[in-house]
Structure formats: structure tokens, C-alpha cells
A = this chain, B = another copy of it.
Amino acid sequence: MSFSLPERVTLKGPNFIREVFERGVGVDGFISFGIGNPAPEAIPVEIIEKAFDEVVHSNPMSLLQYGPMQGDARLAELTLQRLVKAHHMNPEGQGLIISNGAGQLLGLVPITVIETGDEVYMDEFTFTSAINSVRNMGGKAVGIKTDEYGMIPAELEKAAQSGKGKYIYLIPNFQNPTGITMPLERRKEIYAVASKYDLFIYEDDPYGEIRFAGEYIPTFKSFDTEDRVLYAGSYSKTLSAGLRVGFLFGPAKIIEVIQALKNNTAGQMPLVTQKVVAYVLDTIDYDAHLDNVRKVYKMKCDALLNAFDTYASSKVHLTKPTGGMFAWMTMPESVDCDAFFEACMDKNVGIIKCGAFAADGAGEGHAFRLSYTVPTVEEITKGMEILGALTKEFCGE
């Protein structure tokens, strides 16, 4: 039989990240700025191994039977404590969901709220799964123009006038893919537009804890007086991506509905991974650990920026991340970016074409995402030397 499928699920974007991965696999000396993995040396491997030993053997039966739908209570408690203490969020009237990474939330939120034709506003280049899951649910993933401070409020307002908006999806800290961080003033302006058009804000902050330069900027959630912010976080970048533990914090009423949808459509998650994260948080000095993570990321980011300054054409622009994992390289409009990409691949350097991150209506873009977390400092420097030389070839000095 031919399974007749809704159009919404048959939409496919380009998979440039996988392409770079597959073409680079097994190629000797291939340097990839394409992989979005956290830095391996920042993962507290031994502590996590010990946590598994403790958690698995202390009460195995409790891990091997069905557990509570809402997940591990201790993990929820520790997560909430940190949101309140380190990020000044007010827990009153709010709820928390423990999820299969922040990634599961990118699905759960639109699955819960989207009706066909609803619009979701997001940066014109943003995280691929956030775009795809809105489209998969029949929503329109509307790309809003950005500047060096992130989404432009006037552009957002123009779009919101359609009256079809449901929410604004934002990665305010160290955005994926651009590395841009939105200043407080801009956050307040965006919040005002959300308020005016009664949109809610989905604040996706998996990188927030990894600031290695500049000043801490309050989250949207911390000044959310109107209860319109859902705040998503993750332990993927601070502890381990493979354990798949994230969380969503927001107004209890909507959190309850999302939790119920999660129960019905996804079921509970494994308890063992949640308990391992809780055990690690209970055991280590998390702030000291984060300082160490930040140090590693800063070192690698500095290597990228320094090598770029040394080797790249002055016609090419690179963002200066103050945290997170990504920088965004913009080429002059005259450059054939496909040809540039292929030239990099020919020289065994992998970067990601901006098309991978393009929301609906995004301009063509002349940019690439560079991730600096997986290669070593030596590889970063070498890779940027090669890439820098190519920028000069394509754009002039």
C-alpha cells in the first residue's frame, strides 16, 4: 500500500551537517568545524563512570521497573534550585519537566501548541530541529531578520502583525549557529513585542552556562512578569550529551499540558541516566566544574579567533562568541559559497553552509557555521590556516 502522509511531515531541509560528517569520516587529516559535539575534554568521564557504578548497584530494581512519569524527583529538585539561585528565576506558579535532552522539547512544544498555519517566529538562521519540528506540525517557521544583537524587534513586529503568531523561538545566549548573544535591552524590546501581540517566548538556553567572556545577561525568564516564557535547558553541554537529559521550566498550567502530552506520546524516560546526572550534581562542585568547561571552550574559541585574525581575508567577517560552541563566518555577497565550501572540503576542512539553518523566508545567506569544540587547538589553528588562505583566494586580501 502507499501510506498517504500529511504534507507537513514530508518537508525536508538540506542535511549539510550529515554531509560534512559523512564526507569527512575516515579521511586522514580531515579537520571538521562541522560537528556540534561538546568538547570531549570537558566531559567529566570518570565522575560519570563512578555515578553509574553507584546508581546501578544501589537499587537496581528501582531502575529496571517503570518509574514515575515525571522523572527523577531529586534531579528535578536540583535543577529547580539552580534556576532559582544561579539564574534568579521565580518558582512561584511555575512547573518543571525533565526531558530527553532539550531536543525533545523542540518537538513537544510545537506538538502541543501548533495548529495548522500558526506562525512561529525565529532567527532567520537558527537550530535545524527547531525549524523542522514546527514545519512537521503544520506550522510556519518564519525567519526574522537579525543584526549583531540578534532578532530585530521591528522586523518581529512586522511579522507579528499577521495575527497568526503563536510563539517566538529564541536562543538568546551564544546562538546556534551564529554565536550571537542578545543584550538585555534587546531582550526587553523583544519581550515588549511578545506582550503586545500576546505571543509566548520559547527561550532555548542549552549553552547559557558556558559563558567564557563578557558579562552575564539575565534570561528572559528571570524578568517574565507576565508568565509568557518557557525556559529550556540541558545538561548536554555541561555534563554529557549522550545521557540525554534536559528540562523545561515555565507557567505550571502550560507545563502540565506539555507533561501530559509527553506522557501520552513519548512515555517516561530511563531513570538511570537521570539518576546519574542527579548523582553527579550532588557529588561534584558544579560551579568549579563549569569554570573548567568554560576554560576549555575559551581556549578553543580564542584559537579560532586568533587564527582567523592571522590568516583570513579582511573581507570576511567572523562573529566573536562570548560563550557556547559556534562562530559564524560571513562572506562577501560576490562569493560563490558552494564553490568555497567544496574548496574547503577538497583541502580536508569541514564547515557548515548556512542553508542548514535557514527558517522560512530566510535570505540566501553567505555564511558558514564553525564549531570549535571538537578539534584540538592545533587542529583549529591548522584548519583556520587552510580556510584563511582560501578566503583570500576567493575574496582577496
Binding site for B on A (CB under 8 A): 1, 3, 5-6, 9-10, 12, 36-38, 40, 43, 45, 48-49, 52-53, 56-57, 60-67, 100-101, 103-104, 106-108, 110-116, 129, 132-133, 136, 198, 200, 226-228, 236, 240-244, 251, 253-254, 257, 260-261, 263-273
Chain B residues with Cβ under 8 A from A38's Cβ? 65
Q: Which of B10, B49, B114, B266 contacts A103 (CB under 8 A)?
A: B266
Chain B residues with Cβ under 8 A from A12's Cβ? 260
Check B198–A1 contact: CB distance below 8 A. Answer: yes
Chain B residues with Cβ under 8 A from A129's Cβ? 263-265, 267
Q: How far is the CA of A243 from the CA of B6 in the complex (A)?
A: 32
Check A244–B257 contact: CB distance below 8 A. Answer: no
- Could you say how many copies of this chain the assembly holds? 2
Check A65–B49 contact: CB distance below 8 A. Answer: no
Chain B residues with Cβ under 8 A from A116's Cβ? 116
Q: How far is the CA of A151 from the CA of B254 in the complex (A)?
A: 37
Check B261–A104 contact: CB distance below 8 A. Answer: no
Check B273–A272 contact: CB distance below 8 A. Answer: yes
Chain B residues with Cβ under 8 A from A261's Cβ? 9, 136
- Given contact pairs A65-B240, A242-B270, A270-B273, a sample of 12 additional A-B residue pairs in the complex whose CB atoms are under 8 Å apart: A3-B113, A3-B254, A5-B257, A37-B66, A48-B64, A49-B56, A52-B56, A53-B53, A63-B242, A107-B264, A242-B272, A244-B267
Interchain residue pairs with CB less than 8 A apart (30): A3-B251, A5-B112, A5-B254, A5-B257, A6-B113, A12-B260, A36-B66, A38-B65, A45-B60, A52-B52, A65-B241, A66-B236, A66-B241, A100-B266, A100-B269, A101-B268, A103-B267, A106-B264, A106-B265, A106-B267, A107-B266, A129-B264, A129-B265, A132-B264, A136-B264, A243-B272, A244-B267, A244-B269, A266-B266, A270-B270
